[in-house]
Amino acid sequence: MTDRPIPLALPDLGGNEEAYVVEAVRSGWISAKGPFVHRFEQTFAEWTGSKHALAVCNGTSGLHLALLGLGIGPGDEVIVPSLSFVATANAVRYTGAEPVFVDVDPATWCLDPAEIARHATARTKAVLPVHLYGHVADMDAINAAARPLGLRVVEDAAEAFGATYKGRPAGGLADVGVFSFYGNKILTSGEGGAVTTGDTALRDRMALLRGQGLDSDKRYFFPIVGYNFRPTNLGCALLCAQLERAGAMLAARRRVFEAYAGRLANVPGLHLQPVHPDVTPAPWLFSLTVDAERFGRSRDQVMADLAARSIETRPFFIPLHSLPPYAEQAARRGTRLPHTDRIAASGLNLPTYSLLSEADIGRVCDALLGG
């Protein structure tokens, strides 16, 4: 008998998602205008402790919009951790600016604040820390390093809904926060995203850029060249339903994390994602690194063994400075990122979703441990 597949991620759509989407369809409001868009933006701002939230069509466009709103453009540089999904760097390139890749702190797997002063130049205009796998970067130290240099700070919180830093929610810790609602995220609308900020003037500029540059007070008047980063009322209907159960979904996923940790925390050769005392991570994907010599199998061997038992896993992101679009520029800079390279080469993500059962978790752990 073939084992029932255990996927890496599954959306939790057990609330009012269907009812709200049907409501949106029946109302005729399915695109960027509609009551669910405004409702979502208000509720999400509250969740993130931000004054403003703007829904966008996806997280990547949210990063692009945030950088555009801050005036990042050709000739500028943005400091970016290399250990991230490629969208972080791509969004910088979309503006005409250049990402400058820096190493992570092995204690958090997030951008090392000490790297900011080391790599800032006269062209550097912003820092884009990533809350990797739900763990918030050391934002007070990052802001303190950026401020004297006149740098703006954008949180890539795509993976960090529900995380906190010193009791404050991710997304409200810098000039702008950016979230993703892709299908494998804690909150999902299939595709979707949001930007958050406490700066009203910045919010207004991003709103103008988001909607083709359309003046809100004068129909079909476009004072600037804008973009089509708008959300849909259908997507925001899904997100409104998700936010109603966000606390319960986060709690369910944290139970999954606790179950994994209970089985794997003290296994020689396995190193769970470090958690700083100031941080409550978002329970997005349970992440660990594999020391092949001590564990007896490499990361890739472990993944192959789990795949043979119908269990989906995922390797860590390939360091951005080694990817073809960015490798030549990084090489010219003499980029050497030892912590990033080591963590990326040995890291994997285990199946994580709120509907994962204790039996499923036991099966994943047994397979991982060679049982």
pLDDT for the residue numbered 2: 62
If you search the block for the tokens 């945030």, which residue do you land on? 66
Q: What is the pLDDT of residues 299-326, one digit of tens each?
A: 999 999 999 999 999 999 999 999 999 9
* Residue 122 pLDDT greater than 50, yes or no: yes
Mean pLDDT of the chain: 97
Same domain, 73 and 97: yes
Q: What percent of the chain has pLDDT over 90?
A: 97
3-class state of residue 213 by DSSP: coil
CATH code: domain of residue 137:
3.40.640.10
Domain end marker among 244, 273, 294 = 244
Q: What is the pLDDT of residues 172-192, one digit of tens each?
A: 999 999 999 999 999 999 999
Instruction: Determine the average pLDDT of the residues in 338-346.
Output: 98
Q: 1: pLDDT confidence band, cut at 50, 70 and 90?
A: very low
Q: Domain range holding 250?
A: 246-368
pLDDT for the residue numbered 136: 98
pTM score of the predicted model: 0.97
Same domain, 274 and 320: yes
3-class state of residue 12 by DSSP: coil
Same domain, 82 and 111: yes
Domain end marker among 229, 244, 259 = 244
Q: 371: pLDDT confidence band, cut at 50, 70 and 90?
A: low
Other residues' Cβ atoms within 10 Å of the Cβ of residue 307? 12
Contact between 53 and 45 under an 8 Å Cβ cutoff? The reply is yes
Q: What is the pLDDT of residues 60-76, one digit of tens each?
A: 999 999 999 999 999 99
Q: What percent of the chain has pLDDT over 70?
A: 99
CA separation for the pair 229, 226 (Å, rounded) = 9
Same domain, 192 and 282: no
Q: What is the pLDDT of residues 269-297, one digit of tens each?
A: 999 999 999 999 999 999 999 999 999 99
Same domain, 75 and 180: yes
Q: Is residue 39 part of a domain?
A: yes
Q: 3: pLDDT confidence band, cut at 50, 70 and 90?
A: confident
How far from 186 is each of 13, 36, 189, 245, 272, CA to CA, in Å? 11, 19, 10, 11, 20
Phi, psi of 161 (to 5 degrees): -60, 130
Contact between 181 and 175 under an 8 Å Cβ cutoff? The reply is no
CA separation for the pair 170, 222 (Å, rounded) = 33
Contact between 230 and 33 under an 8 Å Cβ cutoff? The reply is no
Q: Sign of the CA dihedral 181, 186, 187, 189? A: positive
Q: How is 221-283 classified by DSSP, letter by letter? A: --SS---B----HHHHHHHHHHHHTHHHHHHHHHHHHHHHHHHHTT-TTEEEPP--TTEE---
Q: Is residue 5 part of a domain?
A: no
Measured between its terminal Cα atoms, the distance across the chain in Å is 18
Contact between 347 and 319 under an 8 Å Cβ cutoff? The reply is no
Q: Is residue 227 part of a domain?
A: yes
* Residue 349 pLDDT greater than 80, yes or no: yes
Same domain, 250 and 236: no
Other residues' Cβ atoms within 10 Å of the Cβ of residue 291? 14
CATH code: domain of residue 327:
3.90.1150.10
Q: Is residue 4 part of a domain?
A: no
If you search the block for the tokens 């490798």, which residue do you land on? 327
Contact between 65 and 56 under an 8 Å Cβ cutoff? The reply is yes
Domain end marker among 190, 222, 244 = 244
Same domain, 275 and 231: no
Supply 10's token pair: 């599954």
Phi-psi region at 265: left, alpha or beta (left = phi > 0; alpha = psi -120 to 50): alpha
Q: 9: pLDDT confidence band, cut at 50, 70 and 90?
A: very high
CA separation for the pair 99, 96 (Å, rounded) = 10
Same domain, 98 and 228: yes
How far from 356 is each of 186, 188, 361, CA to CA, in Å? 13, 17, 7
Contact between 36 and 240 under an 8 Å Cβ cutoff? The reply is yes
Q: Provide the domain count of the chain.
A: 2
Instruction: Determine the average pLDDT of the residues in 128-136.
Output: 98
Phi, psi of 355 (to 5 degrees): -90, 5
